[in-house]
């Protein structure tokens, strides 16, 4: 039974309007982001945010009650999700246990995209906790891609000779329920101290093989524009560092953060590439499009990373819509990641064979520049490989042999 009712939170202009669960539902047709009529799973909540004008296309309930959230509000507890109508109230106590294990953060932007009448809503599935997260399988790992095994100093992962990761913060504007760093993100002690940041930059400065520094986390764009500018300037001052890259969810979760000050911070004198994590075309509404346009208009090259997720985008048509939308927004789809062996994420994973079948259907269906590389991060730290021959081959027992870049073979599945 769907939940009826609504909550009014103290509004701060502008606000986002969120459809709330009601006790009845009728199917309606809505308009997606491209203006084409479209039904079912590809529904798009269309948000127009200004100083006083906001709107959301409701889901399946024409007369849905609504909760009003300030656009800077983030829902961080299951009880808040219930009060906003995103989950049923009788789910809150069990989902609080999930939140105690893995941090919850649903920003107003994403909450406004959720259709609470749809139990398979692809946005909700990414951000709303699920009791299945408490079931950890033997093959799942706290550090599924082996970051720590390649960490010479805190905050740095140096797995490949010519590039290294720098994790200045472990905070995010939203917490994905499938995150491969879910054991560490959202923790108060996760960000680097000034001394730790100095040590990390010192390592990068003293390692001339490093030609690219990739800022990840957490989300580096959670730093203030002033702190981000200072950090990028320090990295750009290292002679052998040629390019910088930033992995972020901010254009999706908090697009208003992308203002003139932040854009200026992203121009430290050396090229900065921005890689945006997005998994469904409905995430790329009007506000995300404006944020991405500010970046593209400033000459910042934009890439996209997507995770192939059961129940979210494990459908060629859904991925096609996403990749076409990204290209229209001047974003190059870069990687399609097979989901990692993170704890409590088995309900998101499909097997490699199913992923290959989906990817094959995309070839020839969309132009080459819209097709990302489908990759697997080999568990334990052996690095990424394309999910195709000769890197991956199926074995008679249904598992897969995966060959890493050093020629070592690993069993997967």
Strand spans (E) along 180-258: 212-215, 243-248
Q: β-pairing, 66-70 with 156-160?
A: unpaired
* Predicted TM-score of the model (pTM): 0.84
In the residue annotation, 181 being an active-site residue is answered as: yes
What is the per-residue pLDDT for 187?
A: 67
What's the pLDDT tens digit per position in 170-221? 889 999 998 888 877 776 557 899 999 999 999 999 999 999 999 998 899 9
Cβ-contact 172, 219 below 8 angstroms: yes
Average pLDDT over residues 101-113: 92
In the residue annotation, 340 being an active-site residue is answered as: yes
Annotated catalytic residue, options 43, 117, 340, 349: 340
Annotated catalytic residue, options 76, 163, 234, 365: 163
CA-CA distance, 230 to 220, in Å (whole number)?
12
Annotated catalytic residue, options 121, 147, 172, 412: 172
Average pLDDT, the chain: 84
Assess whether pLDDT exceeds 90 at residue 123.
Answer: yes
In the residue annotation, 176 being an active-site residue is answered as: yes
Assess whether pLDDT exceeds 70 at residue 10.
Answer: no
Assess whether pLDDT exceeds 60 at residue 51.
Answer: no
SS3 393: strand
In the residue annotation, 384 being an active-site residue is answered as: yes
Q: Domains in the chain, please, with CATH?
A: 15-134 (no CATH), 148-412 (3.20.20.70)
β-strand partners of 165: 157, 214
In the residue annotation, 163 being an active-site residue is answered as: yes
Average pLDDT over residues 69-93: 91
In the residue annotation, 44 being an active-site residue is answered as: no
Annotated catalytic residue, options 181, 182, 257, 325: 181
CA-CA distance, 295 to 291, in Å (whole number)?
7
**Which position has the token pair 């890689």?**
275
DSSP string spanning 100-122? Answer: HHS---EEHHHHTT--TT-TT-H
In the residue annotation, 179 being an active-site residue is answered as: yes
Assess whether pLDDT exceeds 50 at residue 230.
Answer: yes
Annotated catalytic residue, options 160, 205, 294, 324: 160
Annotated catalytic residue, options 41, 159, 245, 349: 159
CA angle 38, 42, 45 (to 5 degrees): 90
- Of 108, 120, 87, which is closest to residue 3 (Cα–Cα)? 87
Cβ-contact 136, 343 below 8 angstroms: yes
Annotated catalytic residue, options 71, 176, 203, 287: 176
């Amino acid at each position: 039974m769907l939940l009826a009712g609504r909550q009014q939170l103290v509004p701060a202009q502008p606000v986002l309007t969120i459809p709330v669960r009601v006790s009845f539902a009728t199917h309606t047709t809505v308009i997606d982001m491209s203006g084409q009529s479209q039904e079912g799973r590809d529904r798009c909540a269309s948000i127009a945010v200004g100083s006083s004008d906001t709107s959301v296309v409701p889901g399946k309930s024409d007369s849905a009650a609504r909760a009003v959230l300030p656009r800077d509000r983030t829902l961080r507890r299951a009880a808040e999700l219930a009060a906003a109508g995103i989950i049923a109230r009788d789910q809150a106590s069990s989902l609080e246990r999930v939140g105690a294990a893995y941090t919850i953060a649903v920003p107003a932007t994403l909450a406004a995209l959720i259709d609470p009448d749809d139990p398979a809503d692809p946005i909700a599935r990414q951000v709303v906790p699920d009791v299945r997260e408490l079931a950890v399988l033997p093959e799942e790992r706290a550090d599924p891609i082996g970051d720590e095994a390649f960490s010479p100093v805190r905050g740095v992962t140096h797995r490949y000779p010519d590039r290294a990761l720098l994790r200045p913060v472990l905070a995010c504007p939203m917490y994905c329920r499938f995150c491969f760093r879910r054991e560490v993100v959202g923790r108060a002690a996760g960000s680097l101290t000034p001394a730790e940041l100095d040590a990390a930059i010192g390592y990068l400065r003293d390692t001339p093989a490093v030609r690219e520094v990739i800022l990840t986390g957490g989300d580096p764009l959670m730093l203030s524009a002033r702190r981000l500018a200072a950090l990028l300037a320090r990295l750009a001052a290292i002679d052998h560092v040629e390019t910088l890259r930033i992995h972020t969810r901010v254009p999706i979760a908090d697009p208003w953060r992308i203002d003139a000050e932040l854009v200026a911070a992203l121009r430290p004198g050396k090229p900065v590439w921005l890689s945006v994590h997005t998994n469904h075309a409905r995430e790329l509404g009007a506000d995300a499009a404006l944020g991405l346009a500010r970046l593209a208009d400033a000459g910042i090259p934009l890439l996209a990373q997507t995770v192939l997720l059961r129940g979210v985008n494990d459908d060629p048509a859904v991925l096609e819509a996403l990749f076409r939308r990204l290209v229209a927004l001047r974003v190059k789809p870069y990687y399609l990641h097979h989901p990692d062996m993170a704890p409590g994420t088995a309900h998101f994973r499909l097997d490699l064979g199913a992923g290959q079948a989906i990817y094959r259907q995309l070839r020839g269906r969309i132009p080459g520049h819209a097709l990302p590389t489908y990759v697997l991060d080999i568990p334990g730290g052996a690095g990424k490989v394309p999910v195709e021959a000769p890197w991956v081959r199926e074995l008679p027992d249904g598992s897969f042999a995966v060959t890493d870049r050093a020629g070592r073979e690993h069993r997967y599945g």
